[in-house]
Structure 1
């Protein structure tokens, strides 16, 4: 019976994976080609070969790191959301809804405003620390009172924590006119201005998070059957939950450090992927990573198109997509456990 619960089209899953990968490649090319200045395929190929003889080739060269960051950040956010939902068995778990993104951003702003920290590598450590402390705090708050933590308690605790930390962040930034503009722009969440050097600084943290998630993917299937059943199957429940939670915090914190807080990717994508491939985490985590990359690319491309010649931040676009989806989940599932 354990196997049948996680079986969902063993033939269709590889096909769906190939299709999703093809969509991701197509979106990458679209991200490179679409912008304030549209470019031709010849200019794209020339830029990929290192040429910068035309304005189009120069534009492609600037969009390449932005596209790579959207793929990496989207994968991390989608995966972190899937991990949080699997660990807590909470359909509303998401780095944004639980306040983890805001906690990471708050610590970065504190370091920037009070301690004069201006190195991205330091931001990463601060963001991971802030994400971890906020995650623990939200779990502690939702555990208060009678009964075990429920999805509704998690959502309410996360919403309250997000509101409080957002207010504290504004209070820290408001008196500092020298950093207010940059800090407020960063808090909108986006992938503009990305460079390969900045991506390389956060890549080790993201790779560790990806590897840790791969280690616990199969074990999370046992946790979905209940802690007692998982322990009876020989799983170390506390270790599995801790590794998965740490992986989610690393992915979320490192992404927030370089992109700012981007919400709803970790909420929308895991739910869509469950409809496609079922609840087997060995497949779900892979599809969530690829789906998150696709969603963030779509959001970035959409933000460039609808506000030309300017552009709309990725975080704003994902909020427009995710907020109605959040309401739909609450109404459809009535915030029951996964």
Structure 2
């Protein structure tokens, strides 16, 4: 996923845009329908965008019974118009086949992620007990409440700064089928105040017994995470580990190499990193059977004797 272009695929399906008016385009294979209204109605009263509401209702009337995967793009101007969570929840009886949902496929040109008004996204899980994939993106007014959900397999939360309370509520949830968890922790400048200690139940393997892929992405504490993962009990049962988009440096890489074996992994994603070329090469060489991604190397900024590293997404 990227903040600079819309998703072209979601839940293993191509994304097809829903026209704002007229019939749906003909498709000959399963797709993820994408509904959006990039217009701005100049309202600043925290009200649902009326054009989006109308477009959503038309879409559900046209195809609701057979929609299996849905991508929600701009719902008006996301800094002023709150996300249509209540509308999505109310429509659940008319979307009985929905199994995958991405709320917030909004590019940086359409709205900065830190401005996006989203709300409590766990309400979507309560409304859709058969949902298997949930991806959400947000910043302002972005929250989660502990929830029980028997069928969710994949949960991804994209943010430039994920609050400690959000992370804690995810970890306090009962998600027995969860195999794939991706959290974009972000930076403290944008509310990302979660620390390694807040992730302790997850790293200890006490949460989500079916977990096979863990992404702790876009984090300014990537080196701390790497040091914790070097001995974390959760790691031996993972197939994929993702520390991409963060500020990982040589210190964190050295901890990974000196820690518990990682040769059982199928993938180790460290892309967008601050590793020296020699360090990146040594990681790849040490894990010959693992798909190690050390693409997109970054250079730290030097200012007034201090070195600064940046996550891929913050504001």
Same fold (TM over 0.5): no
> TM-score under structure 1 normalisation?
0.21
Bigger RCO (CA 8 Å, 6+ sep): 1
**Higher strand content, 1 or 2:** 2
**Higher helix content, 1 or 2:** 1
